Amino acid sequence: MKPIKDFVRQFGGSISLEESLIVRKENRYFLINEKLKKLITKDFFYVGIYLGKTRKGKFFPSFNLLSMIAEKEANKINVDKKTAWLFICGRDIFKQGIIKVMGSKRKGNYTLILNQHRECLGFGRILHNLDEERGGAAVKNISDVGDFLRREK
Amino acid sequence: MSGKEFFVGRYEKLGWKYEHSEPKQAIRINVMNTKKADIIKRLEALGIELEKIPFLENGYWIYHSKFSVGATSEYLLGLYSIQETAAQIPATLFTDLKDKIVLDACAAPGGKTVQLADLMQNTGAIIALDVKRQRLTALSNQLERCRVKNTIVYHMDARQASRLKIKFDRILLDAPCSGNFATDKEWFSKRTIKDVERNAKLQREMLTEATKVLKDDGEIVYSTCSLEPEENELNINWAMKNLNLQVEKINCYGEKAPTNIFGKQLDSSIENCRRIWPGQTQGFFVCKLKKRVDTL
């Protein structure tokens, strides 16, 4: 539970997760409901909503968790269509592609990346203060939904 | 007993004349994640031309697309799934899926599991099994991408489902099968009647286990993408006699299944099954089974 809470906090947000409904399978975390709780046995492979995994002390969120954070108040950036496409291809974000910034604009902070439909495409780290006029990449891509395709390769 | 001539000869005896077929690519909109009108508009704006599949509520054929429909952000966000046309039929045949406990006995790679979750509106619970561990990762990726919330996945052979100690309201048995030539160009050169018989035996074992874990008023939908009657009509005829199952009437695309297979007369209710010969879709067989009322 702590790795998830710590991760969410980095976006300046919080989500309420019922601790008794979070199950762990090795290094992976899942959110379940009461119905699944009654049915599940310990040898499951996957259950409910996948939240993410820890590896070498670091937490790697699922896209479901990122979407849950995006539904609440948190650091978020809306990007234009072309930038959204480049982002899911693994590219960083340039300032010209940013439509709106919500929450932190500070260098070093994590922010969620949303498309024009306010759907969460992934997250990144702000590379320089977003209220400063500077060239180059503004947000470094850390994880994006294009990962579903890359996993299949 | 193998080769194109042998198998095509069998199809002719079942009343179908062989013709080359190339099934159209199809998608299914995940209505739990988006509104149909919205996603159609978005895909059309990307230059993807869709054609509604007349016999499927949420299914569309890709009429024209400049790029892969598996590489759009809408796909990656789980707003639709790529799912072969005939393969979209089985999950739609259950009555009243909401809040039910459903077994998807051979679930990977998960297209039908996601469709079940969509039809259930993420209520109830799906227990999804697959015997091949490496395929569970593909299944899990589908569930995550499509934001499915109501599924438990186990690495398990469907023939051991009673180990779960759960009685199911609905069971989807999309059984491992010999496949068909419409989706595999090498099919005729690699399949023999021995493969078909081996698969038919495995399917009967799965049907036996599914019947064990089915609630008295539950439903089994059995499907294969095989055209071979041993895996279809003959297996269902066997299940009627040996497992006290009855074949329910269904209303879906496909022809009434033949009740005379190579001279062997089957129970007349076998015609309630549907056989789909390759054409707009791949080859397919589907039916709905219930426990016989007089045996309860």
Q: Would the ipTM clear 0.90, i.e. be above it?
A: yes
Residue span(s) of chain A under CATH 2.30.130.10 come to: 75-152
Burial classification of residue B84, based on how many CB atoms lie within 10 Å of its CB (0-12 exposed, 13-18 middle, 19 or more buried): buried
B291: pLDDT strictly greater than 90:
yes
Please list, in sequence order, all residues whose beta carbon lies within 8 angstroms of the beta carbon of residue B186, skipping any fewer than 6 positions away.
none
Cβ separation A44–B153 shorter than 8 A: yes
Residue numbers of B annotated as active site = 225
Average pLDDT (B172-193) is 94
By Cβ distance, the residue of B70, B147, B153 closest to A46 is: B153
DSSP per-residue codes, B13-71: HTT-------PPPEEEE-TTTS-HHHHHHHHHHTT-EEEE-TT-TTEEEEEE-SS-GGG
Give B222-279 pLDDT, tens digit per residue: 999 999 999 999 999 999 999 999 999 999 999 999 999 999 999 999 999 999 999 9
More confident residue, A60 or B294: A60
- Return phi, psi of residue B124, to 5°: 60, -145
10-residue mean pLDDT profile of chain A (153 residues): values are: 92 90 96 97 97 95 97 96 97 96 95 97 96 89 97 78
What φ, ψ does residue B255 adopt, rounded to 5°?
-95, 155
Percent residues over pLDDT 70 in chain B: 99
Q: Work out the average pLDDT over B37-59.
A: 97
Subunit contact B152:A48, Cβ cutoff 8 A: yes
Chain B closest-CA separation from residue A110 CA (Å): 21
Residue B229 phi/psi, 5° resolution?
A: -60, -25
Cβ atoms within 10 Å, residue A36 = 24
Cβ-based burial of B37 (10 A; exposed 0-12, middle 13-18, buried ≥19)? exposed
Q: Is B1's pLDDT higher than 90?
A: no
Please give the Cα distance from B238 to B148 (Å, whole number): 36
Question: CA of B146 to nearest chain A CA: how many angstroms apart?
Answer: 9
Buried b (16+ CB within 10 A) or exposed e, B148-184: bbbbbbbebbbbebeebebebbbbbbbbbbbbbbbbe
Residue B109: cis peptide before it, omega within 30 degrees of 0: yes
Is B46 in the A-facing interface, judged by CB distances under 8 Å? no
Task: Report the pLDDT value the prediction gives residue B294, as an integer from 0 to 100.
Answer: 75
Decide if B77 and A33 are in contact by the 8 Å CB cutoff: no
- CATH class for the domain made up of A75-152: mainly beta
- pLDDT value of residue B293: 78
**What mean pLDDT value characterizes chain B?**
96
Residue A131 CA neighbour count, 13 Å, CB half: 5
Cβ separation A41–B164 shorter than 8 A: yes
Query: CA of B30, closest CA in chain A: separation in Å?
Result: 15
Residues 146 to 165 of B: which have CB under 8 A from any A CB? 147, 149-155, 164
The answer to whether A119 faces chain B, any CB pair under 8 Å, is: yes
pLDDT greater than 90 at residue B67: no
Structural domains in chain B, sorted by start: 4-16+84-295 (3.40.50.150), 24-83 (3.30.70.1170)
Of the pLDDT bands very low, low, confident and very high (cuts 50, 70, 90), residue B296 is low
Q: Taking CB atoms and an 8 Å limit, are A39 and B125 in contact across chains? A: yes
Pairing relationship of beta strands A44-47 and A58-61 according to DSSP bridges? unpaired
**Chains A & B: contacts with CB separation below 8 Å:** 77
Give the pLDDT of residue A135.
83
Helix or strand or coil: residue B214?
strand
Residue A42 contacts B where some CB pair is shorter than 8 Å: no
Contact A149 B76 (CB under 8 A): yes
Q: B119-173 pLDDT, tens per residue?
A: 999 999 999 999 999 999 999 999 999 999 999 999 999 999 999 999 999 999 9
**Do the Cβ atoms of B27 and B88 come closer than 8 Å?**
no
Pairing of strands A98-102, B255-256: unpaired
pLDDT score of B295 more than 80? no
Average pLDDT over residues B94-103: 97
Q: Could you give the percent of chain B with pLDDT greater than 90?
A: 95
Q: A20 and chain B: CB distance < 8 Å anywhere?
A: no
**DSSP code at position A145:** T
Residue B113 pLDDT exceeds 90 = yes
Give the CB-side neighbour count of residue B227, counting CA atoms within 13 A: 30
Q: Which residues of A touch B77 (CB under 8 A)?
A: 119, 121, 145
Whether B221 contacts B288, CB under 8 Å: yes
